[in-house]
Structure 1
Amino acid sequence: MHFQSTTLAAVLASASAATAANLGKRDSWGQAFSLGPAKQQIISTTTTIYPGEPIPNQGGYLFAYLGISNGTGDLIQSIVGSYPDGASECSGDPSTSWCISSEVYGLASNGYPNQWVGDQTTADTDYADGIIFNYTLTDASTYTWTQTMTNAKTGVLLSSYTKNSGPMLGWGTALECDDYNGVACSGTIASQTFSNSTITLAAADPTFTDTMGAGADVTHTDMVTTDGGLTWTIAEIVIPAMQSGSSSTSSAAVSSTVAAVASSSAATQTTVAKVAPTSFVTSVSKSAAASTFAAPTAVAGFNGTGVFPTGSGSGAASPSGTGSSQRHHQHGHHGHQGHGTKF
């Protein structure tokens, strides 16, 4: 991914494969907007996505989502997906409708990466209606999070999922484009808009806006607060359509499974690599610069065991009965490197 300026905000974890078998599969990323790590925990967030026109004759997997993470634990992600015909649980025409699902990517009890999918797994949706994402910490004592996806026009609940996922410090949009059986993914053909994004912190942090990063062609309104930094709003974020051969990064550049938070760098393109659990390092692929930064502060009551183990993250590697959806048996996980430019 290409950037124009000097601030990088890597917010969410990407567990793209470190194994030789998976390095042959090309994962690319569209432009993104990101925040974090926050000094205070995120306790709720909501946004409305207008995903744009679906992709006709999709050959691979395309996922648009808002993700929140702490860089070492679960990644909460409501997914708006585009699939090859017959490759998802959705019943609609993949050329005219999006397939959605409420999901969490993280570690199962056996230490393997796993994708959990809600009971209301998928629902076809009209792209013009918009979809409201809501992630709320419903029980702070157990770090239980509930995510919902609602049709913004009709108010109909489309998908939901609840899971103990730990404290959250990073926030970011993502466009993930993955090959399928050697067939390239087709990127978005229209811009995507995130409207009325609101982020509530556990305590006020007037400097939270300083962690903001955005891709070179991403446009957005100002990030504002009216209560001293407890609640933040962004009226509009516009993610440009993906263009073939540009605005993307390849999973072949990832040398190990990823755990990422935020940093500042003069890089034009970055790959975030896992190191010791007490710190993270950003290694820069198109710049000699590198920066090291502290891991998020430990939170009492949360066993953030932490880093994604080396492995493909495919559904096949996940234990049975953990909620992996059928499509992950074919595809693997979704992860995100939130890259950005501060304006």
Structure 2
Amino acid sequence: MLSYLALVASFFALSSAQQFGPYYSLGATSSYIIEATTTLTPSKVPSPAADRLALWPGMGTDGGGLYQSIVLAIASPESECGGSTGQWCAFASVYNGRIVKGTQQSGDSVPIDANTPVTINYKYDESTESYTQKVTVNGEVISTITTSDGKAIGWGTAVECQDDACNGTSTTHTYTNTTIVLAAADSSFGSTLSLTSDDNITWTVESISVPEYSW
């Protein structure tokens, strides 16, 4: 069975213009994920900000897609999300595996301050065979998108740089209160940092700390 990291790597033609830093992952599962929730709290934007540094919790699918709500640092946040220097841009997004393969679809991109908790939820609808992503800040949904691009079989965090950001350093950030619910029990899904309390269906990770990283 492919690991989550192998699944993610297969989505991208990695080059010097696109690289990955520290990650945490679960999967792939023999079942599929029906809901996943986590809270990502970014620290400060790298200074100077460069295009593009993306922090995201993602779910790889059996259709070759990637559900990935993103918290983004960019040289010009004003052009991306109407933000100001020192702010991140947050948005729901999917990298398509089936629908015009290799394209990206995104919801609204909204500015957020450093150290702002961003709750990201992915939920599967059996009737439409689609996932809805919701990005929530201070109890308000700021970005959402619903797409159908296969069933999610792995979950993991990523630090992704593109272009000039790959010459810099990513900042520390955390994921807290992560919960992943499977359609059916899978005792092999977990790792040493994961806990399940209902016969291997619901998996929780209390906290993931991602360190600063330089490319």
The answer to whether TM tops 0.5 is yes
Deviation string 1:100-129 (CA, Å, 9 cap, x unpaired) is 1110001464x44110112xx111112222
1:81 and 2:72 aligned: yes
Greater fraction of residues in strand: 2
4+ aligned runs moved over 6 Å, structure 1: none
Contact 1:37–1:70 (CA<8 Å) still a contact in 2? no
Alignment of 1:128-143 (within 5 A): 128-137=115-124, 139-143=125-129
Superposed displacement of residue 175, structure 1: 0.4
**Change in 2 beyond 3 A, CA 1:144/1:194:** same
Superposed displacement of residue 186, structure 1: 2.6
**Change in 2 beyond 3 A, CA 1:184/1:73:** closer
**Change in 2 beyond 3 A, CA 1:89/1:201:** same
**Change in 2 beyond 3 A, CA 1:93/1:186:** farther
Superposed displacement of residue 13, structure 1: 2.7
Whole-angstrom CA distance in 2 between matches of 1:166 and 1:9: 15
Alignment of 1:267-286 (within 5 A): none
Whole-angstrom CA distance in 1 between matches of 2:189 and 2:210: 21
Q: Which amino acid aligns with 1:102?
A: A
Superposed displacement of residue 67, structure 1: 0.4
- Equivalence for 1:52: 43
Contact 1:12–1:172 (CA<8 Å) still a contact in 2? no
SS at match of 2:174: strand
Q: Which amino acid aligns with 1:227?
A: D
- Equivalence for 2:130: 144
Whole-angstrom CA distance in 1 between matches of 2:17 and 2:79: 20
Superposed displacement of residue 132, structure 1: 0.2
Alignment of 1:247-286 (within 5 A): none
Q: 1:224 aligns with which of 195, 200, 204?
A: 195
TM-score by length of 2: 0.89
Alignment of 1:60-79 (within 5 A): 60-70=51-61, 72-79=63-70
Q: Which amino acid aligns with 1:233?
A: T
Indicate the RMSD between aligned Cα atoms, in angstroms.
2.2
1:10 and 2:5 aligned: yes
Whole-angstrom CA distance in 1 between matches of 2:177 and 2:195: 11
TM-score by length of 1: 0.57
SS at match of 2:96: strand
- Equivalence for 1:124: 111
Whole-angstrom CA distance in 1 between matches of 2:36 and 2:115: 22
Whole-angstrom CA distance in 1 between matches of 2:8 and 2:193: 25
- Equivalence for 2:186: 205
Contact 2:62–2:150 (CA<8 Å) still a contact in 1? no
Contact 1:12–1:68 (CA<8 Å) still a contact in 2? no
* Gap regions ≥5 residues in structure 2: none
Contact 2:63–2:97 (CA<8 Å) still a contact in 1? no
